[in-house]
Chains A and B, each alone.
Chain A
Amino acid sequence: GESVGLHLPTLSVQEGDNSIINCAYSNSASDYFIWYKQESGKGPQFIIDIRSNMDKRQGQRVTVLLNKTVKHLSLQIAATQPGDSAVYFCAESTGFQKLVFGTGTRLLVSP
């Protein structure tokens, strides 16, 4: 399969566990944040986004938490499934829709 990062931080979990993927962002002026999932051989797939006027947003099995004080973003995946195995990227934007991506975290889910 395609390797999108040879030395990515890796999170290994068991199927059914909850997963938490963390991201530290760099720009205190960033006002929009987004999480993507990238599977081997595919492009990044939108998961969930959050604006800076919020600190939590929930989707289907996913929750994003934003802590602007420490410039930290997290993605929580409930009841992780083998199909969740992928590389996850956070990205930030200060407007004009120019996204700055993090380097990614690989999530490995064992049956």
Chain B
Amino acid sequence: DADVTQTPRNRITKTGKRIMLECSQTKGHDRMYWYRQDPGLGLRLIYYSFDVKDINKGEISDGYSVSRQAQAKFSLSLESAIPNQTALYFCATSDHGGRGNQPQHFGDGTRLSIL
């Protein structure tokens, strides 16, 4: 979905480095999410945000942090990367839930490899 843009698309780095993944959206959605995808495990929620400055932990938040300084941007940081954080990372957005659950819309992902 071109309305949700992730940068970089690919990154190779070394253990111990600090990494930041960026997500921006032009959909005007309030809600943003970060997921991790590993083979055989589907997508797992890392953090989510329902509004600017709102931050909530997901299923696997340890080792990660996020920042939501603007409605359109949600960044994910790995303060000290470790090899088992090698994965595909996806950002998603959704409209607010005033009318019930709404579909989440995903970017095309960042492939992160930690050596």
Contact = CB atoms under 8 A, between A and B. Distances in A.
B1 A43 contact: yes
Interface in B1-50: 1, 4, 31, 37, 39-45, 48
Q: In which size bucket is the chain B interface? A: 20 to 34
Interface in A66-105: 89, 91, 93, 95-99, 101-104
Nearest to B31: A97
Contacts, number: 70
A86 B62 CA distance: 31
The secondary-structure label for the interface of chain A is loop
A102 B108 contact: no
B40 to A, nearest CB: 6
Given A43-B108, A46-B105, A51 B42 contact: no
B101 interface: yes
Interface string B36-79: 01011111110010000000001000000000000000000000
Given A4-B88, A43-B1, A103 B40 contact: yes
A41 B105 contact: no
A2 B88 contact: yes
